């Protein structure tokens, strides 16, 4: 009996047009996000050139006089440059150190709770403050820390301590800002880590329990390695926003007494660009562009360090 040879015919690869036709619904879903990015993220980048010009509304962006790095040098030579830079960097770093590990700790703790009612109650209570608006949050802070009438002051006086004007002391501003933010956002931030923990193979824990591993050992050798990639990605993104605190909460908590430690780049840009009578758009744009360049450099450095260390990275 004669055996016939069988030749394998490689299936023909689909062209790009065929792939587009096959998955056209997915590409339709991308239209609105792409339009949003184009209109509100990339198109405004053209306006960044006013940082290198003496922008005048009557002349327009292209018609205004080119001045190069004049506004950057003006900011670098400003007498309060180093104080504002230090306030921004120290507040951002303080916030990162305080807020980054706590959601991980909370997620690990909730993950080992057996009582479902208690578990869900802790989750709800911890992430509910995230939905409080910034204005309401700052109003609560001012009420709690108000001298003579605030609950914090009354508790201190009750235990024999002296009343303190918390919001008038520059040395207390950063701690109040950071820990109020931690209280507001720690529960919501831990949701990401709870999702990562739920994707860990349960058989790993079963094998560890059979081998006699304690909960701390299981956390160290199973849970932490399981959530490490997402933790590294979030850490990289947080470093990429190191210089960008947002001015709303800082501005609302500011007063003439704590301005020495509460003035940051974002509030200064807001004041010189919109609040001041001069409304120097070019100067404020130069400061904002400088801040964004620093953020980009930090993002690239941290991402490169994570990749060199063999950890997860953005690219």
Q: In this structure, is residue 277 part of a structural domain?
A: yes
Q: What is the mean pLDDT of residues 219-243?
A: 88
Is residue 229 pLDDT above 70, yes or no?
Answer: yes
219-226: long-range pairs with CB below 8 Å, 24+: 219/108, 223/108, 223/111, 223/197, 226/196, 226/197, 226/199, 226/200
Which CATH number characterizes residue 221's domain? 1.10.3720.10
**More confident position, 61 or 82:** 82
- The count of structural domains within the chain is 1
Other residues' Cβ atoms within 10 Å of the Cβ of residue 113: 14
Q: In this structure, is residue 138 part of a structural domain?
A: yes
pLDDT for 180 equals 93
Q: In this structure, is residue 180 part of a structural domain?
A: yes
Is residue 102 pLDDT above 90, yes or no?
Answer: yes
| 130/103 Cα distance (integer angstroms) | 13
Token pair 């204005």: residue: 135
Is residue 37 pLDDT above 70, yes or no?
Answer: yes
Contact (CB, 8 A) for 264 and 91: yes
Q: In this structure, is residue 27 part of a structural domain?
A: no
Q: What is the mean pLDDT of residues 58-66?
A: 87
| Mean pLDDT over the full length of the chain | 87
Is residue 6 pLDDT above 60, yes or no?
Answer: no
- Give the pLDDT confidence of 238-282 residue by residue, as tens digits: 888 888 887 889 999 999 999 999 999 999 998 888 877 667 889
Find how far residue 100's CA is from the centre of its chain.
10
Is residue 286 pLDDT above 70, yes or no?
Answer: yes
Tell me, letter by letter, the H, E, C secondary structure of the chain: CCCCCCCCCCCCCCCHHHHHHHCHHHHHHCHHHHHHHHHHHHHHHHHHHHHHEECCCCCHHHHCEECCCHHHHHHHCCCCHHHHHHHHHHHHHHHHHHHCHHHHHHHHHHHCCCCHHHHHHHHHHHHHHHHCCHHHHHHHHHHHCCCCCCHHHHHHHHCCCCCCCHHHCHHHHHHHHHHHHHHHHHHHHHHHHHHHHHCCCHHHHHHHHHCCCCHHHHHHHHHHHHHHHHHHHHHHHHHHCCCCCCHHHHHHHCCCCCHHHHCCHHHHHHHHHHHCCCCCHHHHHHHHHHHHHHHHHHHHHHHHHHHHCCCCCCC
Q: In this structure, is residue 5 part of a structural domain?
A: no
Q: In this structure, is residue 271 part of a structural domain?
A: yes
Q: What is the mean pLDDT of residues 277-294?
A: 86
Token pair 């994570």: residue: 306
Between 10-19, 81-90, 178-187, 273-282, the lowest mean confidence (pLDDT) is in: 10-19
pLDDT for 261 equals 92
Is residue 38 pLDDT above 80, yes or no?
Answer: yes
Is residue 14 pLDDT above 90, yes or no?
Answer: no
Q: In this structure, is residue 53 part of a structural domain?
A: no
Q: In this structure, is residue 67 part of a structural domain?
A: no
The closest of 95, 82, 118 to 175, measured between CA atoms, is 95
pLDDT for 44 equals 85
- Residue range of the domain that includes 282: 78-308
pLDDT for 4 equals 56
Is residue 2 pLDDT above 60, yes or no?
Answer: no
- Give the pLDDT confidence of 118-177 residue by residue, as tens digits: 988 998 999 899 999 999 999 999 999 988 888 988 888 888 888 888 998 999 999 999
Q: Percentage of the chain with pLDDT > 90? A: 42
| 168/296 Cα distance (integer angstroms) | 35
């Amino acid at each position: 009996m004669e055996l016939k040879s069988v030749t394998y015919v490689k299936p023909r690869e689909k062209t790009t047009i065929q792939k587009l036709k096959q998955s056209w619904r997915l590409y339709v879903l991308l239209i609105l996000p792409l339009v949003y990015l184009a209109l509100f993220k990339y198109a405004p980048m053209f306006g960044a050139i006013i940082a290198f010009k003496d922008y005048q509304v009557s002349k327009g962006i292209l018609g205004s006089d080119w001045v190069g790095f004049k506004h950057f040098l003006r900011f670098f030579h400003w007498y309060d440059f180093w104080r504002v830079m230090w306030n921004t960097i120290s507040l951002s770093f303080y916030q990162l150190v305080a807020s980054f590990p706590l959601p991980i700790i909370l997620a690990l703790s909730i993950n080992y709770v057996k009582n479902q009612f208690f578990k869900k109650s802790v989750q709800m209570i911890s992430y509910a403050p995230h939905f409080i608006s910034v204005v309401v949050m700052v109003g609560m802070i001012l009420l709690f820390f108000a001298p003579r009438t605030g609950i914090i002051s009354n508790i201190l006086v009750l235990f024999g301590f002296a009343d303190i004007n918390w919001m008038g002391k520059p040395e207390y501003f950063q701690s109040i800002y950071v820990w109020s933010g931690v209280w507001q956002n720690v529960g919501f931030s831990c949701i990401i880590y709870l999702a990562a923990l739920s994707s860990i193979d349960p058989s790993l824990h079963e094998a560890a329990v059979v081998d006699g591993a304690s909960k701390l050992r299981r956390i160290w050798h199973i849970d932490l390695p399981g959530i490490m990639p997402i933790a590294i990605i979030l850490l990289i993104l947080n470093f990429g926003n190191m210089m960008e605190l947002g001015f709303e909460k800082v501005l609302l908590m500011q007063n003439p007494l704590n301005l020495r430690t509460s003035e940051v780049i974002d509030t200064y840009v807001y004041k010189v660009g919109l609040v001041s009578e001069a409304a120097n758009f070019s100067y404020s744009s130069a400061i904002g562009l400088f801040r964004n360049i620093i953020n980009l450099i930090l993002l690239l450095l941290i991402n490169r360090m994570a990749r060199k260390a063999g950890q997860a990275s953005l690219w």
